[in-house]
Amino acid sequence: MALTSIGPALRRARKESFAVPLFDTADMQSTEGMLRAFSEKEAPGIIGLYAGMLDHPNARALAAYIRIRAEEAPFPVSLMLDHGGSPDQCRTALDYGFTDVMYDGSRLSLEENIARTRAVVEFAHERGACVEAELGQVGSGSDYQSFGARRKGFTDPDTVERFVAETGVDFLAIAVGTAHGLYDGDPQVDIELLRNIASRVDIPLALHGGTGCAEEQFRAAIASGISKVNVATDLFMAAGERMAGVAAQKSYFEFSRLAADSFCERSGYYLDLLGATGKGGPR
Ligand SMILES: [Zn+2]
């Protein structure tokens, strides 16, 4: 029974300077590949479901599938809502058995983001779930030249202590130079800003937009206070390429098997890179 809130593993990660990945899933194959990697690497991990997926007719069934498979995992595995768009959506995810939720109020004013995040924290904590919020705004990689590269949306370090104190949030996603999806350009993590933020609060900090970051940037970010890294695009692209390589075979079963294998391999790569390998057991 290893389905659990990722809170303890992330707090350990913050203390011991490694990071736990959140991998966004889409279906059984991607989920199976991730779970196999967590098991083989003896690592804690987070299976994320992007908020848009909650609107699909199979959302509750997919969540149930992930929950049951995670219960059978030997190490801590969390099922987390990724970028919850409203408190109601976070509540729905908890009703579906998610162990943690992210509420993304980054497009709101600071006051509104604080008020709504605090509301989510109140009902999530009652149910034993941890909450991640976003302060600053992690944009899209496709807008990187007009957004992240110009420091637009970067987290204001002077707002961090107040945000954490007034919301009671468990983890914080910050904008320090990464973006979602593929980058138009090369991402540059602002390590000074990250260190500044990490010096002000002791909760785990999350870096979104892991696809396309150089290995040295991951290492520097983790050494400077990042404890959770979100990766999605890279895993889906790698699986797509793997399947395209055998497209001529026209074998659905081969595609399905290769997809799970690819998710397992790429997940394993990130677990090693982030230092999560071997951290699934008791310390
Ligand atoms: Zn994200």
Q: 75: how many CB neighbours lie within 10 A of its CB?
A: 21
The gap from C-alpha 223 to its chain's centroid, in whole angstroms, comes to 18
R_g (Cα) of the chain, nearest Å? 18
- pLDDT value of position 151: 85
Beta bridge mates, 20: 228
Contacts of 197 (CB under 8 A, 6+ apart): 155, 157, 160, 174, 176, 205, 225
- pLDDT value of position 270: 98
Tokens coding 87: 């408190």
Question: To 10 degrees, the CA torsion angle through 69, 73, 76, 78?
Answer: -10
Query: Which residues have CB atoms below 5 A from the ion given as ligand 1?
Result: 208, 230
CB 118 within 8 A of CB 162: no
Ramachandran bin of 117, using left for φ above 0, alpha for ψ from -120 to 50, beta for the remaining angles: alpha
Residue 82 designated active-site? yes
**CA 95 to centroid of ligand 1, rounded, Å:** 22
- pLDDT value of position 86: 98
How many angstroms separate the CA atoms of 214 and 222, rounded? 13
- Each of the 283 residues of the chain gets a pLDDT tens digit; together they read 599 999 999 999 999 999 999 999 999 999 999 999 999 999 999 999 999 999 999 999 999 999 999 999 999 999 999 999 999 999 999 999 999 999 999 999 999 999 999 999 999 999 999 999 999 999 888 888 877 777 889 999 999 999 999 999 999 999 999 989 998 888 889 999 999 999 999 999 999 998 889 999 999 999 999 999 999 999 999 999 999 999 899 899 999 999 999 999 999 999 999 999 999 987 6
- pLDDT value of position 283: 65
According to CATH, what is the number of the domain 7-274? 3.20.20.70
- pLDDT value of position 282: 77
CB 219 within 8 A of CB 197: no
**CA 209 to centroid of ligand 1, rounded, Å:** 6
Q: How far is CA 9 from CA 78, 85, 99, 131, 262, in A?
A: 10, 25, 13, 14, 25
- pLDDT value of position 55: 94
Range list of β-strands (E), 85-223? 100-103, 130-135, 171-174, 205-207
pTM: 0.96
**CA 13 to centroid of ligand 1, rounded, Å:** 19
Strands 100-103 and 226-231: unpaired
- pLDDT value of position 143: 82
Angle between the 252-274 and 233-244 helix axes, to the nearest 10 degrees? 140
What are the residue ranges spanned by the domains of the chain? 7-274
**CA 208 to centroid of ligand 1, rounded, Å:** 5
Query: Given 82, 100, 104, 190, which residue is catalytic?
Result: 82
**CA 250 to centroid of ligand 1, rounded, Å:** 34
**109: exposed, middle or buried (C-beta count within 10 Å: 0-12, 13-18, 19+)?**
exposed
